[in-house]
Amino acid sequence: MANCVQCGRKLPPFSFKKICQWCVQHEAAKRGEGGDSVRQRVMPAPWVQRESTITLKHVLFGANLAVFLAMAAASGSVADFPGKTLVYFGANFGPRTLSGDWWRLVTYMFLHGGLMHIAFNMWCLWDLGTLCENLYGRWTFGAVYLLTGIAGGVASVGWNPRVLSVGASGAIFGLAGALIASFYLGEFSLPSIAIRGTLRSLAFFVGFNVLFGSMFPGIDNACHAGGLISGLILGALIARLAPEHDKPLRRAGVLLFVLLIVGGSAIAVLRWRGASIIHFGKSFVDTHENVERMIGQSENDSYQGVPPGALQAPSAVEGIAEAMP
């Protein structure tokens, strides 16, 4: 099957054309044809591949995989990692995070609970990351990924301070939210049918996983909500205030504004949950035996694998867990 010479899309079987129908419509729109009453700003199609062979999507994918392999080597398993391994590698856990380990709000999004967990998350990252990186550019994509992942971690530790939370899906929901807002509010040189189709796919992705997360235990829906809401805000602000790639200061201002919101939310969570949850954590770490017992109970009672077919993450482990060397 031949590909379009302009965008690389697959052409219909037995077609003798060299350009696909989308590119034909796109060129007509740029010439002012097609009957549109409002001329839209011309921007790159989000799915057009860039020249660079190594993208930030590949870097994030590789980082998640490298951490997973390190955890597998440390635990001797790839199915389900024990709670103390997750904490040792940087899981988001209220007593630790609110005690000063704020770096866990970043590290947790590169950890996964097991093989199926990382497989589905990386599948989602591969697809949404391609779309997001080509729409926003490499560095904005990276900032959106990290900011929404941190926002998801703040929401998780605020709503579920006694659980271990790991996984990239807070950031993945953030990418989906940013894309939804940008496609809905932004101006693109795309046919309306292409925009509507992409929006439907993104809305289905979010809706299905929200519904799935509400039906099964062990899924940190607070993290998903935090990532999605922060992504919607970021995408809307970028689309309205800083859509151009050649105005980095305006784009940086939008990202800084959202960073301040996320930072303020983290301070609010610390004041809300800090004292009680830190006391809760300290009350269970008197001996090594207490820690091991609590970790074992939390894994048996609350750590649930997510069946294939849905986004799995972040995984949540109820109970107290301390990292032991």
Percentage with pLDDT > 70 across the chain: 69
**Strand intervals (E) in the chain:** 92-93, 163-166, 315-318
Residue 236: CATH number of its domain: 1.20.1540.10
Which among 156, 169, 182, 230 is annotated as catalytic?
169
**20 and 68, same domain (yes or no):** no
Q: Give the total number of structural domains in the chain.
A: 2
Model confidence at 237, pLDDT cuts 50, 70, 90, reads very high
Strand (E) or helix (H) holding 296:
helix 288-302
**87 and 225, same domain (yes or no):** yes
> Higher confidence at residue 153 or residue 295?
153
How crowded is residue 115: how many other Cβ atoms within 10 Å of its Cβ?
Answer: 16
For the cut 70, the answer to whether the pLDDT of residue 112 exceeds it is yes
Which among 224, 230, 302, 315 is annotated as catalytic?
224
Q: Which residues of 235-251 are buried (b: 16+ CB within 10 A; e: fewer)?
A: bbbbbeebbeeeeeeeb
Query: For residue 114, what is the DSSP state?
Result: S
Q: Six-digit token pair at 108?
A: 């947790």
**Strand intervals (E) in 45-193:** 92-93, 163-166
- Whether the link from the prior residue into 248 is cis, omega within 30° of 0, is no
The dihedral built from the CA positions of residue 269, 310, 216 and 79, taken in this order, carries a sign that is negative
Is residue 130 one of the residues assigned to a domain? yes
The domain containing residue 82 runs over which residues?
56-318
Rg of the chain, C-alpha, whole Å? 22
**6 and 76, same domain (yes or no):** no
Closest CA to 130 of 49, 202, 43, 190: 49
**97 and 23, same domain (yes or no):** no
Residue 58 bears catalytic tag: no
- At residue 2, the pLDDT reads 61
**279 and 208, same domain (yes or no):** yes
Place of tokens 């929404």: 148
- At residue 320, the pLDDT reads 33
For the cut 70, the answer to whether the pLDDT of residue 7 exceeds it is no
Residue 169 bears catalytic tag: yes
**232 and 262, same domain (yes or no):** yes
- At residue 323, the pLDDT reads 32
**11 and 74, same domain (yes or no):** no
- The whole model's pTM is what? 0.72
